[in-house]
Structure 1
Amino acid sequence: MAHVPAHERREQLVQAAIDLLMRSGPAAGSTRAIAKELGVPQATLHYVFGSKEELYRAVIVELTDEFVGHVRAVEVPAGTDFESSIAALTARLWQTVIDQPQKHQLLGELELVALRSPKMREITAEHRVEIDRLTSALIEDTAAHFGIVPETDTTKIARFYFAALDGLITQHLTTPNPDVELWCLARIVDNVRTMVLTGVDTVPVPVPVSS
Structure 2
Amino acid sequence: MAHVPAAERREQLVRAAIELLMRSGPAAGSTRAIAKELGVPQATLHYVFGSKEELYRAVIVQLTDEFLGYVRAVEVPAGTDFEDSIATLTARLWQTVLDQPRKHQLLGELEMVALRSPQMREITADHRLEIDRITSALIDDTATHFGIVPKVDTIRIARFYFAALDGLINQHLTAPSPDVEEWCLARIVDNVRLMVVSGADTTGRPLA
- TM-score, with structure 2 as normaliser: 0.96
Alpha-carbon distance in 2 for matches of 1:2, 1:146:
55
The one-letter amino acid paired with 2:99 is D
Alpha-carbon distance in 1 for matches of 2:152, 2:48:
45
The one-letter amino acid paired with 1:46 is H
User: Would the aligned equivalents of 2:199 and 2:207 in 1 still touch at CA under 8 Å?
Assistant: no
- Tell me whether 1:164 sits opposite 2:164 in the alignment: yes
Query: What are the ranges of 5 or more consecutive residues in structure 1 without an aligned counterpart?
Result: 205-211
* Partner deviation per Cα, 1:178-197 (whole Å, 9 max, x = no partner): 00000000000000000000
User: Would the aligned equivalents of 2:152 and 2:207 in 1 still touch at CA under 8 Å?
Assistant: no
How much has 1:203 moved relative to structure 2? 7.9
The one-letter amino acid paired with 1:44 is T
Alpha-carbon distance in 2 for matches of 1:3, 1:193:
53
Alpha-carbon distance in 2 for matches of 1:181, 1:126:
28
The one-letter amino acid paired with 1:75 is E
Alpha-carbon distance in 2 for matches of 1:52, 1:159:
30
Alpha-carbon distance in 2 for matches of 1:11, 1:61:
12
In structure 2, the residue matched to 1:59 is 59
RMSD: 1.0
How much has 1:112 moved relative to structure 2? 0.1
In structure 2, the residue matched to 1:21 is 21
In structure 2, the residue matched to 1:207 is none
In structure 2, the residue matched to 1:90 is 90
- Tell me whether 1:47 sits opposite 2:47 in the alignment: yes
- Tell me whether 1:137 sits opposite 2:137 in the alignment: yes
Structural mapping, 1:1-211, within 5 Å? 1-200=1-200, 201=205
Alpha-carbon distance in 1 for matches of 2:134, 2:92:
15
How much has 1:2 moved relative to structure 2? 2.5
Query: What are the ranges of 5 or more consecutive residues in structure 2 without an aligned counterpart?
Result: none
How much has 1:136 moved relative to structure 2? 0.2
How much has 1:202 moved relative to structure 2? 5.5
Count matched residues. 204
The one-letter amino acid paired with 2:49 is F
